[in-house]
Structure formats: structure tokens, C-alpha cells
Chains A and B, each alone.
Chain A
Amino acid sequence: MNQTRLLYPLGVLLLLGAIPLDVLARIKLTTLPVRERVQIHLDHPQVALVEEERIVPLVKGVNQVDFSWANTRIDPDTLVLRILPPLGEPVLDAKVLSVSYPPNENALVWSVAASASGAARVRISYALGGLSKDFHYRAVADREEKTLELAQYLRVNNYANEAYDLAQFQTGVGAGFDKSLGLDETKEVQINRFANTPVRKTYTSDPVKFGYLDRAQDKLNVPMHYVIKNADGALGKAALPEGKARIFQDDGQGGSAFLGEDRGQFTPPDDELELYLGLARDIVVRRTIDRNERQRIAGNLYRYDVTVKYEIENFKDAPATLNIVESVRQIRDQVRGDPGRDPEWQLGDGTLRHPDPEKSDADQLLFHVDLPARSADGPAPKQTQTLRLTLNNEW
């Protein structure tokens, strides 16, 4: 029996003669087939898959190909050796016969049969721990905050204790790229740039999600967001993975001002990426329950008429749109306690009558309210909005 042995990282060990495996471990004649090609697949959310292509010299008969991975976190159950079709002559037919696992070693030995002596192109695939990725964004808004330039970066962190020279990276986002990745090295690569991306700046009051700025004065927090819809133009072709976003604004002097940072959520196409910018101090929203009337229908069955009042002032010298978000369940619980049932409700004749149908449901209501700019010489106009609800069949 002819035996050839491949040793990793990554040598090939050539042995001739019918020698049992435990003897083989002591007598080694090694050739070192270099990696011809390395692909690193990072498209799976949890697992990094490495594929190495090597040209392995085989002799006619049965060859022992040894693969070891001391001090690396290869998952041995994922190791696959595939013999690829030859690129040219002579044609060599090879097949894996068996795999042996020596004791107390991160190693295995493939037994490979070859129809003739020659070189075989093989691909070794394995899941590798310690090789992780994360995404980052850099958004630079224009002066008017109407568009921004969104750059998307991939960061590959190599704590796998193995270096890869000129590997092909497939990330599942954007085009692949070729880079070397050293030991304990982190490599950052820009994988997409979306110029002139439309952006909306939103102001939102939502007592459940964002709470009160001053509960005694009924003043709500009014957070600001940049909202980017993952649709149209260069966007919308793929999901935007979750990742930290640093947000800047063009300062009009050739530079940019840092506005803050946020963790962007996974955003599928047609969804919106919301980046939190901080609290707006120039838009003041006071929320009060203005009315709460109970009417008996029968026995212990009641109907409630509830009015929520919003007093809104825009101290900015620019118009804005305020998003008012309410949870009907939270209003019901506030006016009569939680009976453990979902509320049944109808909108009444308040000023807020047309919730956004795309973003409202059986519990949450979203209204858009336009706020005019403060006049140059006067105070901010105060506008009052009311949300009137009828809560039916409560007991």
C-alpha cells in the first residue's frame, strides 16, 4: 500500500509502504502543499466557513492525508475534504476511503485512493471559531438634512489563531473582496456606499417607548431620528445588517460635525432604518388625559369616553413634523386599570382622526402633525391636538 500524508498547518507528509497509523505518527516525510486559494464565507449569521484549495501530491494506491489544527478552533465535525475535478491532464481519479482520528490530537487522517500518481486538487472546508464579523455605518447628512451619504463597513476580527494570505471573503452583503488576514488582526473594509440617500428627520412623542421629560409638567420626551428607507436607488436591493452607525452632518465648511451614534437594527428592503440622534429640546409636547367619562351599558358593562390632549410648541425656526404615538391599551389602563383584556375602541371626533394605516394596528396609533416654524420675532405658536377614543365593552 502506498501512503501519502498531508500535514497541517499545512504540510503534506509523504510515506511509502504499508505502515499502520500509529507508526505513521512517528515517521514523517513531509511535503508542503501551499494553499492555492482560500475562501472565507461570512454569510452565515453565526458560523465562519473556511475553504482551502490545495494541490496534493498522490501516488497510485492508497494515500494517507493528515490534517491537524493545533491551537485553532476548527469544528472537526464540519471538516469536509472534496476532491475537485482536475484542471488539466493527466486525469487523476481519487476518492476518500475513510477518516481516522488519532487520540488526544486535533488531527485526522484521510485515507485517499488514487488511480494514478499525480497531483489532485482538493478543497478542505471547515467551520472556524474565533473568526467573527460585524458591520458599521457612517452617515453624513447634508446641511438641510434632506439627504445623506451612507457608507457601510465590514469588520472581520481574527482571533482564530490562524493567518490567511490573500483570502477571498464572501460576506453575503455587497461584493466579495480579497484581503490578507493576519493573526489577531482586525480588518475593516468598506463594502457599500450609498450617496444622496433621502433621509427624513423625525420628532416623536411616545409615552410608552420614550417616556416623559418632566412627568409633573406632563412634558414628553421628543427624540429625534434620521429615518432612511431601505428602498429605491442603490438601496432596497438587500437587507442592511445590524451595526453601529456614527452620524455626522456637513458643517458647510468642508468638514463635518459629529451628531451622535446609534445601533442600527437589521433592516430588510422596504423597511426603515431609524437612527436616534438625541432629544429635541425645541419642540415641547405636553400630554394630559383631558376627559374620562364612564357610561353604564348594563350591569357591570361600561363604555368610556377618553380624550387625550396634546399642547405642542415648536421653538425651532424651521417647520417640523411631529409623530404622535399612542398605545390604546396604555390609555385604557391609565383611566380604569388593566382588566386583562385587549381594549375594544373607536376613534372619536378629536383633531387626530387619521392614523398612519401602515404603522397603526389594534393597539398602537401613529399620527403625523405638521408644526410650523416659530416666527422670527414672536413666540412659538402653540397648537392643541386631541385624540378622542371610545372604549367599548369594558368591565
Chain B
Amino acid sequence: MTLNRIVCFLCLLLPLALPARNVDLATVPERRTVQLTIYNSEDLTLVRESRIVTFKKGVNPLQFSWANTLIDPTSVELKFREPKTGLIMLDTTFPHDKPQTLYWNVQSDADREAIIEISYFTSGISWAADYLAVADPDEKTLRLESFVRVRNLSGEDYENAQVRLVVGTINLVEKIAELAKLPVGRVNELKREDYKDLRQRAARKMMAPAPAMEMAAGAMAYDAAEMDAPKEIIKEGLSEYFIYTIEGTETVPNGWAKRLRSFEADAVPMVVEYRYRPREYGDQLTRLYLLKNDAASKLGSTPLPDGVMQIFRANRSEGLSYLATQNLKYVPIGDKIELNLGVDRLVIFELVKQKIYRDNLWFQIKGGNLYRKLGEDGFKLELDSQVAGWDEHTVYRQKIRNYSPKPIHVQIRRDYAGDIVFRSRLNPTLHDFQTVQFEADIPVGEKAALDYEVIARLGYNQKQNRVELQNGEAGR
């Protein structure tokens, strides 16, 4: 076990002017409680610790030092928790000869014991979500487990800390790790005047003590008898943020990471869909698991923070089959969850260009403003005329073969630029003004042939920039 590097001294026998002496006597009040509020969008953790300090009547110097840690010196604050009156912080001094140290002068109106709270920002502590999804062998439902992983590279051991994790993005004008390297005086020279206010405003909503912060000794003595169940992670929405509070306390030594289950949901309903959406998934037919982050799906108690998801399918011999690893983007409550499994080699997806022809040819006569259509009455074989517009017909057959052991549903989106007519019997819809969407169900072992014709109005014939759907046979 390493020693804490963050130390709070109550200096004895020190004059009000800070000392330039070599012989000191100090008492070291132990941390009583510590709370970590960790942001995943920035390298930022708000640490709030309480200590019991005995003050004598008069002025009491307090020294706080944080050697070899990544604390932002401008963020260190002192508050008096108990009693709330009778104690006044007179000033704060950052000595020039002692880096990563400050002194507070505290005026007490009586000899008393007090609970003080010291808060500061540190970098080097991070958290990230990760997920484990295991589909059942029939791929009707899946089991979704969500975890949070806290990593401590801050240089400080935090023992028996209450851990709160913030989901959401905040604005920082400076990186805490950079501030931690600079003396306070230089920080002030380099930064905008309001940088601290901005940063603290961003985090202010998380500053309110959590109910469990009143834990004191009770929470610290989290005994073994209670630990035979995974700790609950309490999720609370606050403004634009979500705060996960890990039940009880955790010890995360410097250099270590710890992973805890955030939630688990069994038998989450899902559907399997095959999609061809080149803009989203590349030029390939992609297999997806689709589910929703809502109560009907046994989820929806919290947004799903960004994180890596490992996706498996259970086989029928208590084992797993690896399917994919995916970086899940933040999923709000009620939103869809798409798990991209990549290409299924048991489903063959081929596009065949079957035929090309052109018609509706228009000529520009002698380079002027006169245009004539080929075949139009009175149009002669003008030598000095150029093709200026035409309709280009391309007939396609989309072949899909399903060798997978289950019937499949396929959704296809194709983008077309320009003035386009999409002719088919496929009952297509427009996803947007230039994207056609159509769908097909293919039973096990069957083949589908989806025919369509794309008519591009080109050159002089182009009047629009959009796709028009037309019900009709492909090809002439």
C-alpha cells in the first residue's frame, strides 16, 4: 500500500507570516471521507475530501500539499462543514519555495474540533463504460451487461472513496493536466481571467453533496457480509447530465483500474436485420442486431454512455461464439441501439447490371439556343448539331441468396445524384430526396431477384436534382 501524497497539515507554533524556518512541527489530520466525481468527456475529476481538524482560538495556519500528483492548484478550495460558523478562512498563500503546496490561515473564535472539506480538480482519473452482449442461440433476445471501468493514474491512492461518474460533456477552457504542471502565478498569467469560473460553472451541478457523502464512518466500514451481491450503481439524471453513483465506497490504488457492473438486462428483445447502406456501413450487406433502450426492452433506466461493446452469441453447449466488437455511441433513453455484426458470408449479395439503353435524345443546333429532339417531326439530319441531353436507362438485378439457417429481412438503400427516375415493382420509398429504400424477405435457402431500372436524365434533360419513384417493370 502506498502512502497518500496529498497531505493536510495543521501547523503548530507558526506565526501568521509564513515561515522561512527549517524546524516545523505539524499534525496530520487523516482523510475522513473522500468522494470522486469523474467525468468521462474530459480528463477531469472533482475530489471532495473531509478531515477533522482541531483549531485553537485565533489564527491557525493549515498547509495543504500534493506532491507528484496532477491536481490543478487553482481549483483547491476549503470549506467548513461542521460547525458552519465561527471559522473564517482569512487568506490562501502559494509559497514560491515549495511547489505543490499552499497555506490557509483560518480564524477560529474558539478552541474547537471541526470538519473541513477540501475540494480540487485532478486529472489522471478516468472512467469508461463497456458492454457485454450475449445473444441467445435463436437470436430472438440478448443479455446485455453494462460495466463502468475506473482507472486511476493520478499519482494518488484513493481509499474507501465514494465514486460518482458523470455521463455528459462539459466545457473546459484548460486541460487540468496542463494546469497541474504550472505554478499558480504562471497559470494566472497565461489564462483568461474567467477560466476558473467557466470550468467551475461547468462542474458546479456536480458539486452538491450526494446523500451518501454523509456516510462518514458507516460507509467506510462496508463490511464483507454486504458484499455477496454486486454493488448497485445508482443512476440519476441532473440537467443535461447523468450521474452514476457506485454503492458504498471503492478503493482504487494509483495505477489500478476497477470494473463494476452498472446494470444487466436479460432477455432483451431484438430483431436481426440485414442492411445495405453504403453511406453508413460501407459497400457491403451488413448484419445487425436491433434493439431499443426503453422499458419495453427491459432497458431505458439510463442512457448508454459511449463505450466498447463485445458481442457474442451463446451456442447450445454453454459456450459463446464471438461475433463483433463495436464502439457504441451514446444512446439516449428511448433511442435505438444498433449492433453491427459485419458481413454474413452465408448471405450472398450481388448487383448485376443487366442492360443499358438511351433515349429522349436532344440536340443543340449549331451551338445556339435551339434544341430539337431526335425523331421529332421536321428534325433533319443536321450535321452541325450536338447531343445535349439524353435519358440513360440502366436495368439492375439485385440478387440475394440466403444460405443462413434463418429467414432474413433485408433493407437496401441506394443513393443517386441528379435527376433520377427509379422504376420498379419493389414498393420502394424515399429515405431522402436522393436515396431510395426497398426491402425484401428471403426464406431459408431461397434466392431473391429484385429488378429495378434507374433512368438518369442527363445534360439538357436534367431539370431536377431528386429521385422520382415510378411503379413499373424494369427494362423495356
Residues in A lying within 8 Å of B, measured CB to CB: 1-2, 18, 20-23, 39, 41, 43-45, 47, 49, 51, 61-62, 77-78, 80, 84, 95-104, 113-115, 123, 125, 127, 238-239, 266, 268-271, 296-301, 341-344, 361-363, 392-393, 395
Contacts and interface: CB of A to CB of B under 8 A. Distances in A.
B345 interface: yes
Interface string B251-263: 1011111111100
B346 A239 contact: yes
Contact of B256 (A49, A102, A113, A114): A102
Contact of A62 (B227, B319, B322, B383): B227
Given A101-B259, A299-B363, A22 B130 contact: no
B322 A47 contact: yes
Contacts of A39: 317, 319
B174 to A, nearest CB: 28
A113 B308 contact: no
B414 interface: no
B321 interface: yes
Interface in B158-217: none
Interface in B368-405: 374, 379, 381-387, 390, 392, 394-395, 401, 403
Nearest to A77: B308
Contacts of A101: 149, 151, 256-259
Nearest to B342: A45
Contacts of A362: 353-356, 394-395
Nearest to A270: B401
B361 interface: yes
Interface stretch (B14-22, B76-84, B228-236, B462-470): B228-236
Given A296-B381, A299-B382, A299-B386, A343 B224 contact: no
Contacts of A61: 224, 227-228
Contact of B230 (A21, A49, A95, A114): A95
A126 B384 CA distance: 73
Nearest to B257: A101
Given A21-B253, A266-B345, A362-B353, A300 B387 contact: yes
B353 A98 contact: no
B381 A77 contact: no
Q: Which of A104, A296, A395 has the most CB of B within 10 A?
A: A395
Contacts, number: 162
Given A49-B321, A77-B308, A99-B258, 15 more contacts: A21-B256, A39-B319, A62-B227, A96-B230, A97-B229, A98-B261, A100-B258, A127-B322, A268-B403, A297-B381, A298-B363, A298-B385, A300-B386, A341-B392, A363-B353
B435 interface: no
B349 to A, nearest CB: 11
Contacts of B224: 1-2, 18, 61-62
Nearest to A62: B227
Contacts of A78: 310, 322, 325
Contacts of A296: 381
A80 B403 contact: no
A95 B229 contact: yes
Contacts of A99: 147, 258-259
A40 to B, nearest CB: 10
B448 interface: no
A113 B227 contact: yes
B403 A269 contact: yes
A84 B385 contact: no
A66 to B, nearest CB: 13
Interface in B313-334: 317-323, 325
23 contacts: A20-B1, A22-B2, A22-B256, A44-B321, A61-B227, A62-B224, A62-B227, A77-B308, A84-B318, A96-B261, A98-B261, A99-B147, A99-B259, A100-B256, A101-B258, A113-B230, A127-B322, A268-B348, A298-B379, A299-B381, A299-B386, A301-B361, A362-B356
Contacts of B308: 77
Contacts of B317: 39
B321 A43 contact: yes
B355 A100 contact: no
Contacts of B130: 77
Contacts of B90: none
A65 to B, nearest CB: 14
Contacts of A298: 363, 374, 379, 381-382, 385
Contacts of A113: 227-230
Contact of B228 (A23, A115, A125): A115
B356 A77 contact: no
Given A20-B251, A342-B356, A123 B319 contact: yes
B312 interface: yes
A21 B217 CA distance: 22
B85 to A, nearest CB: 39
**Chain B interface extent, by class:** 35 or more
Nearest to B228: A113
A97 B227 contact: yes
A49 B322 contact: yes
A268 B401 contact: yes
4 nearest A-B residue pairs (beta carbon): A103-B255, A299-B385, A1-B224, A101-B257
B5 to A, nearest CB: 15
Nearest to B152: A103
Given A84-B318, A97-B231, A301 B345 contact: no
Given A99-B258, A363-B353, A22 B322 contact: no
A23 B209 CA distance: 32
B353 to A, nearest CB: 4
A44 B352 CA distance: 28
Nearest to A108: B259
Nearest to B397: A361
Nearest to A301: B387
B132 interface: yes
A297 B319 CA distance: 70
B357 interface: yes
A98 B260 contact: yes
Nearest to A297: B374
A95 B145 CA distance: 13
Nearest to B323: A44
B358 interface: yes
Contacts of A341: 392
A20 B395 CA distance: 70
Contacts of A270: 401
A322 B321 CA distance: 46
Contact of B383 (A80, A98, A100, A299): A299
Contacts of B394: 342, 362
A20 B256 CA distance: 12
Nearest to A113: B228
Contact of B385 (A51, A102, A300): A300
A299 B387 contact: yes
Nearest to A104: B255
Contacts of B257: 100-101
Nearest to A50: B322
Nearest to B445: A269
A45 to B, nearest CB: 7
Interface string B22-64: 0000000000000000000000000000000000000000000
B322 A41 contact: yes
A21 B257 CA distance: 11
Contacts of A77: 130, 308, 310, 325
A338 B180 CA distance: 65
Contacts of B345: 45, 239, 266, 268
A44 B358 contact: no
B259 A98 contact: yes
A41 B354 CA distance: 41
A269 B348 CA distance: 10
Given A39-B319, A100-B259, A363-B353, A1 B227 contact: yes
